[in-house]
Amino acid sequence: MSGFQKKFVEEITSRDVDFAKWYTDIVKKAELIDYSSVKGCMVIRPNGYAIWENIQKDLDARFKKTGHQNVYMPLFIPESLLQKEKDHVEGFAPEVAWVTHGGEQKLSERLCVRPTSETLFCEHYANIIHSYRDLPKLYNQWCSVVRWEKTTRPFLRSLEFLWQEGHTAHENEQEAREETLKMLEVYKNFCEESLAIPVVCGQKTEKEKFAGAVETYTIESLMHDGKALQSGTTHYFGDGFAKAFGIQYSDKNNTLSYVHQTSWGVSTRLIGAIIMVHGDDSGLVLPPVIAPTQLAIIPIAMHKEGVLDAAENLASRLADFRVTLDSSDNSPGWKFSEYEMLGVPVRLEIGPKDIEKNQAVLVRRDTREKVFVSLDNIENEVATLLDNIQRDMLSRARKFLQSHTYDVTDFDKLCEDASKKSGLFRAMWCGSEKCEEKIKEHASLSSRCIPFEQKPLSDKCICCDKDAKKLVYWGKAY
Amino acid sequence: MSGFQKKFVEEITSRDVDFAKWYTDIVKKAELIDYSSVKGCMVIRPNGYAIWENIQKDLDARFKKTGHQNVYMPLFIPESLLQKEKDHVEGFAPEVAWVTHGGEQKLSERLCVRPTSETLFCEHYANIIHSYRDLPKLYNQWCSVVRWEKTTRPFLRSLEFLWQEGHTAHENEQEAREETLKMLEVYKNFCEESLAIPVVCGQKTEKEKFAGAVETYTIESLMHDGKALQSGTTHYFGDGFAKAFGIQYSDKNNTLSYVHQTSWGVSTRLIGAIIMVHGDDSGLVLPPVIAPTQLAIIPIAMHKEGVLDAAENLASRLADFRVTLDSSDNSPGWKFSEYEMLGVPVRLEIGPKDIEKNQAVLVRRDTREKVFVSLDNIENEVATLLDNIQRDMLSRARKFLQSHTYDVTDFDKLCEDASKKSGLFRAMWCGSEKCEEKIKEHASLSSRCIPFEQKPLSDKCICCDKDAKKLVYWGKAY
């Protein structure tokens, strides 16, 4: 390792020494974000935005495949519109940004910058839904939303963030409930297949559900520091919003009914999850499916005859992948560190000796494993390697999740364990908010979800000894 | 024409009777937009948003091909940041929305919702540009911006609109000037190749240029009512912003220099242009390259054996195109009108007689021309027809532009002509703002652009008889 290279690598705080600082170092050094003069708002730089573009492309195809259409709603919500659904406004009003002036004029009614767009979709649905023939409406929008948070961290919690929000309207409860679970499944599959992040799926408790929802479902992932990250949610609204906004349709018998609604969203927070699940002390480690660059070709002894030609030839042979050829005058060592920091899944080295032997060197970012492969079959070698990396990353993350999931049946042990180790704690719960709060107070754990797979660990609540109703995942969370 | 179909069509105001009303009818009836409770903000519905998605995809590929990268900047600009460049703030401050409260707290400094993001890009560039190695920076962002307009019209002028804004920083004037013209060329090619809209390219006068720019360039298109639409602009900033924001780099000799900058943008206004250039009394007419649906398959006598099967078979054979098969129980006549309204370029009819003859009927939306084609070769027939439609739409629009462009050398004639007919008037100009204002006052025409092709019509200004400096396009504009 050259002096320069060593220094480059040493610039990141070690993940196990100070996870929070390691995280901040990575988002800065991998040039994912820059801070701006609006506290809590970030600039998403090309390296960060390219990840988001790939997330969008992948998810958007999944949404369209399940029959959803994209729309765009206004950025602003009049105060009176936000107030139409009581629980919803109570949840969001304390954290919205208010526009009071347009140009030099004071507005007659304040507008809030959307924190989420249920109210706008409802107003629109009330306009356009009249008959059962107009249903279902399966809409989604990609946009930014604003929530006036006090403590912010890049990607994880910021004043403004990018997301998608699906909003659907259905003829009846069953259809809406199916949609709520179907989209949770879409999120789960996306996280596991594309981001190589395993998730726990389940329902949120009453305390943790979305403002205005009847039920909220979540996918929870586990970061390398043992904290959970709520990575996506879907909500079943029943006909509460429909009643507040008057969204009625006449059914086949000409009877007026209220629609049943859902909403669901994931955000740039997923980039935070990718960093914290896969990253290491050399920087980002990106899953091949979502990596903006999948393969970095680095010529060795570039000044020697034939090297650059061979590298260029490989770049064009491998153009079906997202390839970059770095022919800059930086040293190979510098380049190795650079593409490690950026998390590029595979590095290809080619030098005079390799050309002689009709081979190239492929180095995996995740394991640093080095293999020599024949140039004859390089397209297949790269394809297979990328597949393997994707699969192995998921499987490693799954093992980590499993080995950091603990079954606990005793309250004192839960408190003690939670003070010593981090991860997801599975424990039985009676269903009362009081016990949920007590666990929060004594073990600093919040309920993450009530998983779909319910295998009782005991018949008593871990907290109050009353009859247990549910197995719950508890954890410290971002 | 069935009674129902007739009624459907009659619902639109005729284009030649009331162009403004025709336009509003189309955006509503083709379900491109819905109004919202925030005056001047629109809901972009699936039919409208799908056009924008195709515009984005096409343009984004052109931006990436020319080396640009996407980023995302904050939605808010602190008042003090907006004020850093004097001309810029004077141009925009009167028309911005101000956020004064976050949650329940009054902010110590007002934030404006971005009307455009020069100031944010400059702040970021000052952070990240240090050396000539950091240049050029070729960034673009897709987002929404807000301008507090008093009079609004869907797509053409709204309080909030979707757009892209490119912002670049270069080592020197020459590179930045080349970028400014290169992006104008990208816009021109996109409009002509993809939207089938011919444009006039040129420079804006001092009076009409962007707030803070040294020079502004524009592509101007001509709507069917003879009004011009500024369809895209690119700006050369010199080092004015760089000096205001302190964006300096050390060159190869270690000397500090200011960067030279550009910006450029197009918006959802282009959807307005597509409507007003190509639409007719039956609705939208979409150019095939950008049409969300290129081909609508309509089974005739659908209840007859084999018809639906044949239609489905065709849909799968033609899946390389953007195809919709309408097997709903609406009448064929209703469907014809529906897809005409939506502007789908080609309608394919298939019924029992066609199946017998191994043929299908293809109907062009633009000319309503009907051809019978063999099923054997249907993929090629459709491909060729779509190409022809795209080419013919551009050529028709070009003829319209040419036949509505008038050379004038006499001021009284200009005033008289402008009161009688609409279009683009080419006339010589001395370069003074006074004459520009006089033409505005007497002929109700504003300067659209100083075209790159300068062929003098006379040697005198049409207004003041002083020596003419430039040939200028004048017109009424949206």
- Which residue among A75, A124, A144 places its CB closest to the CB of B146? A75
Closest partner residue to B71 (CB to CB) among A45, A73, A143 is A45
Average pLDDT over residues A189-206: 98
| Each residue's pLDDT tens digit, A40-92 | 999 999 999 999 999 999 999 999 999 999 999 999 999 999 999 888 888 88
C-alpha torsion sign, points B438, B439, B445, B450:
negative
Taking an 8 Å cut-off on Cβ atoms, the answer to whether A70 and B81 are in contact is: no
Phi-psi region of B399 (alpha: psi -120 to 50; beta: other; left: phi over 0): alpha
List of chain B residues whose C-beta atoms are within 8 Å of the C-beta of residue A74: 36, 38, 41-43, 160
Q: Rg of chain B over CA atoms, in angstroms?
A: 25
**In B, which residues are within 8 Å of A100 by CB distance?**
98-101
Closest Cα in chain B to A38 = B78
- Contact A36/B98, CB-based, under 8 Å? no
DSSP run (H or E) holding A395: helix A378-403
Model pLDDT, residue B68: 98
Contacts of B70 in chain A (CB under 8 A): 46, 49-50, 53
CATH homologous superfamily of B405-475 equals: C-terminal domain of ProRS (3.30.110.30)
By percentage, how much of chain A surpasses pLDDT 70? Answer: 98
CB contact under 8 A, A103 and B96: yes
Report chain A residues whose CB lies below 8 A from the CB of B79. none
Cβ-defined contacts of A216-219 (< 8 Å, 24+): A217/A180, A217/A181, A217/A184, A217/A449, A218/A184, A218/A448, A218/A449, A219/A184, A219/A187, A219/A188, A219/A191
Tokens representing residue A106 in the block: 């004071």
A4 pLDDT above the threshold of 70? no
Q: Give chain A's end-to-end CA distance (angstroms, integer).
A: 36
Contact present, B115 and B92 (Cβ < 8 Å): yes
Mean pLDDT per 10-residue segment, chain B (478 residues):
46 93 97 93 97 98 98 97 89 92 93 96 98 97 95 95 98 98 98 98 96 96 98 98 97 96 98 98 98 98 95 98 96 96 98 97 98 97 98 98 97 97 97 97 97 95 95 97
The per-residue pLDDT for B88 is 85
Fold of A13-278: BirA Bifunctional Protein; domain 2 (3.30.930)
**Superfamily of structural domain A295-387:** Anticodon-binding domain (3.40.50.800)
Q: CA of A175 to nearest chain B CA: how many angstroms apart?
A: 21
Model pLDDT for residues A455-471, shown as the tens digit of each residue:
999 999 999 989 999 99
> Which residues lie closer than 8 Å to B253 by C-beta, 6 or more apart?
none
B98 vs chain A: nearest CA distance in angstroms?
A: 5
What token pair was written down for B5?
A: 């179909």
Q: What is the ipTM of this complex?
A: 0.95
B94 contact residues in A (CB cutoff 8 A) = 103-104
Record: contact B71-A36, CB cut-off 8 A: no
Determine the pLDDT at residue B6: 47
Among the listed residues B143, B109, B139, B107, the one whose alpha carbon sits nearest the alpha carbon of residue B123: B139
Residue A414 confidence (pLDDT) above 80: yes
Q: A43 and B143 in contact by Cβ < 8 A?
A: no
| Residue in chain B nearest A45 by alpha carbon | B71
DSSP class of A153: B
Q: What pLDDT shows up at residue B94?
A: 87
The amino acid at residue A237 is F
Q: What is the pLDDT of residue B91?
A: 87
- The tokens 């409208």 sit on which residue? B48
The candidate with the shortest Cα–Cα distance to B469, out of B433, B417, B424, is: B433
Q: Which amino acid is at A34?
A: D
DSSP assignment letter at A133 = G
DSSP B412-471: HHHHHHHHH--SEEEEEE-S-HHHHHHHHHHH--EEEEEESS---S-SB-TTT-SBP-EE
Lowest mean pLDDT of A77-86, A226-235, A362-371, A405-414, name the range.
Answer: A77-86
Min Cα separation B123/chain A (Å): 8
Residue A166's DSSP bridge partners are A140, A264
Helix (H, G, I), strand (E, B) or coil at B33: strand
- The answer regarding whether domain B295-386 maps to CATH 1.20.900.10 reads no
> How does strand B97-102 pair with strand B105-113?
antiparallel
Q: Which of A46, A101, A103 sits opposite B69 (nearest CB)?
A: A46
Contact assignment for B94 to A102 by CB distance below 8 Å: no
Q: Which long-range contacts (CB under 8 A, 24 or more apart) does A465-471 make?
A: A466/A430, A466/A432, A467/A430, A468/A428, A468/A429, A468/A430, A469/A429, A469/A430, A469/A431, A470/A428, A470/A429, A470/A431, A471/A426, A471/A427, A471/A428, A471/A429
Q: Is the peptide bond before A136 cis (omega within 30 degrees of 0)?
A: yes
Interface contact B38-A74, CB threshold 8 A: yes
Q: What is the pLDDT of residue B299?
A: 98
Of A43, A70, A97, nearest to B102 by CB-CB distance is: A97
Q: What is the mean pLDDT of chain A?
A: 95
> Quick one: average pLDDT of A312-340?
97
Name the 3-class secondary structure at A291.
Answer: coil
pLDDT, position B57 = 98
Give the C-alpha separation, A97 to A115, whole Å: 8
Among chain A residues, the shortest Cα distance to B128 is held by A34
Strand partners, A424: A405
Closest chain B residue to A145 measured between Cα atoms?
B75
Contacts of B87 (CB under 8 A, 6+ apart): B211, B212, B240
Contacts of A45 in chain B (CB under 8 A): 71, 128
Considering only the beta carbons, identify the residue of A37, A71, A105 that sits closest to B49. Answer: A71
CATH number for the domain running over B3-278: 3.30.930.10
User: Would you call B97 and A97 a contact, using CB atoms and an 8 Å cutoff?
Assistant: no
Chain centre distance of CA B128: 32
- On chain B, the residues whose CB falls within 8 A of the CB of A122 are none
**Which chain A residues contact residue B41 at CB under 8 A?**
74-76
Q: What is the pTM of this model?
A: 0.96
Whether residue A37 and residue B73 make contact (CB cut-off 8 A), yes or no, is no
Q: What integer pLDDT is reported at residue A11 of this predicted model?
A: 77
Contact flag B102-A44 (C-beta cutoff 8 Å): no
- The domain ranges of chain A are 13-278, 295-387, 405-475
Helices (H), B213-300: 240-245, 269-278
Residue A330: closest C-alpha in chain B: B133
Provide, as residue numbers in chain B, all residues whose Cβ is less than 8 Å from the Cβ of A53: 70
Q: Name the token pair of B451.
A: 């075209």
* Cis upstream peptide for B288 (omega within 30°): no
Whole-number Å distance between alpha carbons of B32 and B309: 32
Identify the residue among A98, A147, A149, A252 best suited for mutation to test binding to B, counting B beta carbons within 10 A and taking the highest. Answer: A98
Angstroms from A103 CA to nearest CA on chain B: 4
Q: What is the pLDDT of residue A185?
A: 98
Candidates A69, A76, A151, A163, partner chain B, best to mutate (most B CBs within 10 A):
A76
d(CA B34, CA B45): 7
Size of interface A-B (CB pairs under 8 A): 147
State how far residue B333 is from chain A, nearest Cα, in angstroms: 19
Query: B144 contacts in A (CB within 8 Å)?
Result: 72, 75, 143
Q: What is the pLDDT of residue A10?
A: 53
Q: Do domains A295-387 and A405-475 have the same CATH topology?
A: no
pLDDT reported for residue A3: 43
**Chain B positions in Cβ-Cβ contact with residue A34 (cut-off 8 Å):** 124, 127-128
